[in-house]
Amino acid sequence: MNTILADENIPLVQTAFSSFGKVNTVNGRNLINADLAQVNILLVRSVTQVNAKLLANSSVNFVGTATIGFDHIDLDYLTQHNIGFANAPGSNATAAAEYVVSALLVLAERQNFKLRDKTVGIIGCGNVGSRVLQKLTALGMQCIVHDPLIQNANYVDLDTVLTADIITLHIPLEKNGNHPTYHLVDNKFLAKLKNDAILINTSRGMVINEAVLSRTLLSRPDITVVLDVWKNEPNINKLLLQQVALATPHIAGYSLDGKIRGTEMLYTKICDYFQQVSNWQPQIPPPPVNQLSFSNTIDDSVAIHTAVMACYDIRRDDSALHQIATNFDSLRKNYPLRREFNQLTIQLPPEKSTLAESLRGLGFEITIIE
């Protein structure tokens, strides 16, 4: 019988993996080598650095991360020591894309601009970036994309993407290789941003040189910044927190749907690895709001804003972080129920076909009521 140690923020981990053995949970950020005595399966999130220091002389033979990214995992070490590995690609991508939509709607309202009048530069078009592209296109926004890892004739170089009104980052953290992203956002990068630019980062904190960004914001207050990820989580830069327009505690992908999807993906992969029959199905509570109805008198932009905020209003998380920034991890651990757009059905009259198309492109379920 296996012993499983899991991050306490992985939902339903006890019920999902009880068939594999005894499941214990722990604060993933505080995990140390001594905690792994007699542990066979280790399940983590991005706050845990899984490397030789953590795993040395342990009995761990499988590591899973319930996240898209795996820059916190030393894959070479796992390979060298014949330790199995699985991640959850795409699990929280939809939630992260919905975060960007919520942020842009809030900023448009605050700054009195129309999204259709703005060009968005998407840096990184993998699981998250591709969904951002889909949703912002549904809003009628012009999008340009830069991703050196994907060969696409429609993509542009970095200098071109930085000419956009809005820049949103969806890239892995890479310190080496042909396309390093560590401190991609530096003096040179920021100097190329146009006046009144908006910069959003939901990828990894270290892709931004925070000291440079802070100094830049002092001299260029016209730049609007939205940050979900930070350099020294959970001990984030308090000055930068006050300088940015919207700040959240690394929760862009924290929909219940996304987190449970991550648990499901790990469960399936571990069943395959250990050749065990997959027989667990998650029980998910109903969404707080599951239906909205709009009449033919509703303004399309008002309807979109109302629908998005009914599912996810970024201002709530921004307010919470500003109130108790020292409790960064507590905000993550006790994160309120959040469901994705597809859990909300919107009823529309036939006259609202254009609105229906936009909402459907965002991911909402649409019912036409005659």
Average pLDDT over residues 97-106: 98
On the question of a common fold for 93-247 and 291-368, the answer reads no
Q: Which of 72, 131, 204, 339 is catalytic?
A: 204
Q: Count Cα neighbours of 7 within 13 Å in the Cβ-side half-sphere.
A: 26
pLDDT 10s digits, 161-199: 999 999 999 999 999 889 999 999 999 999 999 999 999
250 is catalytic: yes
Rounded-to-integer distance, Cα 195 and Cα 198, Å = 9
Question: Phi and psi of 320, rounded to 5°?
Answer: -65, -40
Kindly give the pairing relationship between strand 166-169 and strand 198-201. parallel
Q: What burial class does residue 82 get, using C-beta atoms within 10 Å of its C-beta: 0-12 exposed, 13-18 middle, 19+ buried?
A: exposed
**What's the pLDDT at 177?**
87
Asked if residue 325 has pLDDT above 80, the reply is: no
Among 63-72, 113-122, 155-164, name the one with the lowest average pLDDT. 63-72
Q: What burial class does residue 218 get, using C-beta atoms within 10 Å of its C-beta: 0-12 exposed, 13-18 middle, 19+ buried?
A: exposed
End-to-end CA distance of the chain: 58
**What's the pLDDT at 114?**
97
Pair 31, 1: CB distance under 8 Å:
no
pLDDT more than 90, % of the chain: 91
Kindly give the pairing relationship between strand 2-7 and strand 21-26. parallel
**What's the pLDDT at 154?**
85
Q: The sheet that has 84-86: what strands, in order across it?
A: 21-26, 2-7, 41-44, 62-65, 84-86
The CATH topology of domain 2-87 is Rossmann fold (3.40.50)
Average pLDDT over residues 272-283: 91
Number of helices (H) and strands (E) in the chain: give both, helices first.
14, 14
Query: Domain 291-368 maps to which CATH number in 3.30.1370.170, 3.30.1180.10, 3.40.250.10, 3.90.1150.10?
Result: 3.30.1370.170
Alpha helices (H) in the chain, listed in sequence order: 13-17, 52-55, 75-80, 93-111, 127-138, 158-161, 187-191, 210-219, 238-243, 256-273, 300-311, 314-323, 328-333, 353-362
CATH class of 93-247: alpha beta
Among 120-129, 150-159, 243-252, name the one with the lowest average pLDDT. 150-159
Boundaries of every domain in the chain = 2-87, 93-247, 291-368
Rounded-to-integer distance, Cα 16 and Cα 10, Å = 10
Q: Which of 250, 261, 332, 339 is catalytic?
A: 250
109 is catalytic: no
Using only C-alpha atoms, what is the Rg of the chain? 21
Q: In Å, how far are 187, 191, 193, 201 from 220, measured between CA atoms?
A: 12, 10, 10, 18
Q: The sheet that has 246-247: what strands, in order across it?
A: 142-146, 119-123, 166-169, 198-201, 224-227, 246-247
pLDDT 10s digits, 35-81: 999 999 999 999 999 999 999 999 999 999 999 888 899 999 999 99
Q: In Å, how far are 26, 60, 62, 104, 229 from 36, measured between CA atoms?
A: 11, 7, 12, 43, 28
Q: Given pLDDT bands bounded at 50, 70 and 90, which one contains residue 152?
A: confident
233 is catalytic: yes
Q: Given pLDDT bands bounded at 50, 70 and 90, which one contains residue 370?
A: confident
Average pLDDT over residues 21-25: 93
Chain mean pLDDT for the chain: 95
**What's the pLDDT at 69?**
85
Residue recorded with tokens 């308090």: 238
